[in-house]
Amino acid sequence: MSGDANGGSDHFGDALIARVRELGHPLCVGLDPHLDRIPPPFRAGTMAPAAPATADAVEAFCRAVVDRVAGRVAAVKPQVAFFEQLGWPGMRALERVVAHARGAGLLVVLDAKRGDIGSTAAGYAQAYLAADAPLAVDAMTLNPYLGLESLAPFAQAAQQCGRGFFVLAKTSNPGSGELQDLEVGGVPIYERVAASLAPLAGRLAGPATGWSSLGIVAGATWPAQHEALRARLPRALFLVPGYGAQGASADDALRGFVSGPKGLEGGLVSSSRALLFPPDGEGGDRARWEASLDEALARSTAELAQAVARSGAR
């Protein structure tokens, strides 16, 4: 992990929590470069996925976002699919965007939702979390369907290189309950996944804050479920997508957070579309888009900072 991004800590959980306390809010900016919504100043031709110029345009757009948000949020979360759909030039653009973000002092959480077994899982850990990973990030998201053994190489990277990872528990989509809410012995699957992670979360606890480098993904759209998840994992990080465009409020998003020295803490709350594509920032020139993004970012961080500070009332 680069010293720039985490202030010299070699533990993802500690680094993340320290940065969030400093900023006073847990906002994470999702880098979801939807091809059809990238603002005119960055567009190239028809933005066809297979056109090489499209990857360049996506890279320029994401770099511009990084430049606006650096120093104002703890982390960015690139969604791999938006880069992967452009073929290898998209993966090259992602590598450059990630390096740029880490160089600017941001933690990078790669939203990859990978999940595989044995040497294949080790391949994904090598790709993104190893000390010599070609596309090194600070943390990534993982899918638990193949069982706990599939997490082993990622846990090793957490211990050896200070990385982190977030396992899908309860995702933000309307249909997430289809499998995740099924109850086994009265306990829903998402809660069982969380419970099964508890021992590993403990082993990956940070020396400075006690927060683990292991986290879960818990959609902001399901706040009622966050308390049960937190009870199973008292010091695991929550990565909370769905705040903003997907309709969840700041208080909803923080439902699983707990009191800390600077208010509520315990993870990251992610917003993407509402920041990258602000309603009044489309169609205009670059300065107009930048001003709209700045304004949307200020609104979101203020809203979250207020919700964080309300912790005393709990």
Q: Which helix (H) or strand (E) holds 57?
A: helix 52-69
Q: Does 186 bind a second copy (CB under 8 A)?
A: no
113 is catalytic: yes
- Minimum distance from residue 207 beta carbon to a second copy (Å): 30
Q: Is 46 in the site for a second copy (CB under 8 A)?
A: no
Give min distance, CB of 179 to a second copy, in A.
6
- How open is the CA angle 61-65-71, to the nearest 5 degrees? 155
* 10 is a site residue for a second copy (CB under 8 A): no
Q: What is the DSSP string of 110-167?
A: EEEEE---HHHHHHHHHHHTSTT-TT--SEEEE--TT-GGGGHHHHHHHHHH--EEEE
For the bound state, the minimum distance from the C-beta of residue 229 to a second copy, rounded and expressed in Å, comes to 16
Question: Least distance in Å: CB of 66 to a second copy?
Answer: 19
With binding defined as CB under 8 A, does residue 57 bind a second copy? no
Residues 187-206 that bind a second copy (CB under 8 A): 189, 192-193, 196
Q: Which residues pair with 87 in a beta bridge?
A: none
Q: Which two structure tokens, joined as six digits, stand for 214?
A: 């292991």
Which segment (38-46, 129-137, 155-163, 230-238) binds a second copy by CB under 8 A? 129-137
Cα 220 to Cα 240: distance, rounded to the nearest angstrom: 5
What residues numbered 85-124 form the site for a second copy, per CB under 8 A?
85-92, 94-95, 111, 113-121, 123-124
With b for 16 or more beta-carbon neighbours within 10 A and e for fewer, the 33-70 pattern comes to: bebeebbebbbbeebebebeebbbbbbbbbbbbbebbb
Residue with tokens 């957490």: 158
Residue 189's region, left for phi above 0, alpha for psi from -120 to 50, else beta, is alpha
The yes or no reply on residue 63 touching a second copy (CB under 8 A) is no
| Candidate ranges 48-56, 155-163, 229-237, 292-300; the one touching a second copy (CB under 8 A) | 48-56
Q: How many residues bind a second copy (CB under 8 A)?
A: 64
CB atoms within 10 A of CB 22: 10
Footprint (CB under 8 A) of a second copy, residues 247-306:
none
The binding site for a second copy (CB under 8 A) comprises 32, 34, 48-50, 79, 81-82, 84-92, 94-95, 111, 113-121, 123-124, 126-127, 130, 132-135, 143-150, 168, 171-180, 182-184, 189, 192-193, 196
Catalytic residues: 113
